Structure 1
Amino acid sequence: MASLAAAQRRRRRVVRSVAHLDILGDTPLTRHVVTLSAAILVVGLLGEIYLVVTHGWGMGVGAWMAVYVAATVAALPVHELVHAAAFLLLGRGRVCIRFGYETGMLYTRAEGNPLTRGRFVAVLLAPSVLVTGALVLVGVLVAGPALAWALAWTHLSGCAGDLAMVVRIARTPGCTHVRDTDTGVELLANDGDGDGA
């Protein structure tokens, strides 16, 4: 009886598109991403100057730079792998993961069923939290707070597209679900039952 009721609820569900966020072609959104990234870089640089002056490099400058560059470059594919893992986990395996590179950006795409708004936001934020946390740990263990801070703000500036999409998703009235697309995401409203959590 319970499965019959669930099937009837699924049939009543009507989903409509309420917005499309084109991360590559939407000029205002792209400007917002660039501005956010630049702001994070400026704040990060100011914090970096303070930490280097007050705490020093924590190791030789050449070694510090080598670790910084290596960790920053290594974080790029790891960031996308974390998105993929989050898509698979939160999409309950009903997604097909694709990776790509376009216009200076690596990306992860999940083809399949849309996710609830909350789950999609979690997918977008996962690398910002997990990869940045791992980079801070590496920085602290290898050289101290100056390297930890540098790795964190550099990575977060690269997360600007994810962060901008989170803000737009949260500010879109009626958005209950999000579907990944070739150029960004489609925001959907579930006009049937369900709360989008």
Structure 2
Amino acid sequence: MQKIAVIDVLGDEALQARIMALSLVLMGTTAVAAVLVGLICGLGEVTWPWWWLGLAAGCLVPLPVHELVHAACFKLLCPGCRVSFGVQGAFLYTRTDGVVATRGRMVAVLVAPALLVTGCVLAASLVAGSPVLAVLLAGIHLSGCAGDLIMAAASLREPRCTHVRDTETGIDLLFCPRDGSR
């Protein structure tokens, strides 16, 4: 396998700046959407004491759940891999120390929490009758998915990438010729 690119989320300051920029754009979009939903549906829900507890819990609980979804996807799509967790700065992360997966499988691992966890907080808030909270929690969680989304996009943008290796600091984009040659 040939290494095409290294995506170092934990060590590349320029990449961290791009992640932060995307996260801030998503947060700004969330704020605008929450205001619009509040104007359309009314802001009465924010006067409920439980709403504020839901906001606090909905910001914190999805963080470890997000990483557990990554872990479950690694276990499902990369059988036999060893999963571990870590924290560096503002980043929580799940890693497998070198597992190599097809690009499609790794993209699925990367985007699964953005889809599943965001969908769950959105649905739970809507079922509770709190559309403003739904928008806020969905947007807050998505903003925390910025690094995963950027890594998935980088994998998909590189036409030569056939496989992706999980690393201690991010991912490596790989090319594996069909005939097995180097």
Look up the equivalent residue of 1:141 and give its one-letter code. Answer: V
1:70-90 residue CA offsets vs partner (Å, 9 max, x unmatched): 122110000000000000001
Structure 1 partner of 2:7: 21
Gaps in structure 2 of 5+ consecutive residues: none
Matches within 5 A, 1:29-48: 29-48=15-34
Does 1:65 pair with 2:52? yes
Does 1:141 pair with 2:127? yes
Gaps in structure 1 of 5+ consecutive residues: 1-14
Does 1:163 pair with 2:131? no
Q: CA deviation at 1:44?
A: 0.4
Total equivalences in the alignment = 179
**CA-based RMSD:** 1.5
Matches within 5 A, 1:70-149: 70-91=57-78, 93-149=79-135
1:94-143 residue CA offsets vs partner (Å, 9 max, x unmatched): 21000111111111001353000000000001000000010011110123
Q: CA deviation at 1:175?
A: 0.7
Flag as ranges the 4+ runs of structure 1 deviating above 6 A: none
Q: Of the two, which has the highest radius of gyration?
A: 1
Give the alignment's TM-score, normalised by structure 2.
0.93
Give the alignment's TM-score, normalised by structure 1.
0.86
CA distance in 2, matches of 1:193, 1:113: 21
Look up the equivalent residue of 1:114 and give its one-letter code. Answer: V
Give 1:154's match in structure 2, choosing from 133, 140, 149.
Answer: 140
Query: Would the alpha carbon gap of residues 111 and 24 (structure 1) be closer, same or farther in structure 2, given more than 3 Å must change?
Result: closer
CA distance in 1, matches of 2:70, 2:43: 32
Structure 1 partner of 2:162: 176
CA distance in 2, matches of 1:57, 1:130: 27
Q: CA deviation at 1:28?
A: 2.4
Look up the equivalent residue of 1:155 and give its one-letter code. Answer: H
The percent of aligned pairs where both chains have the same amino acid is: 42
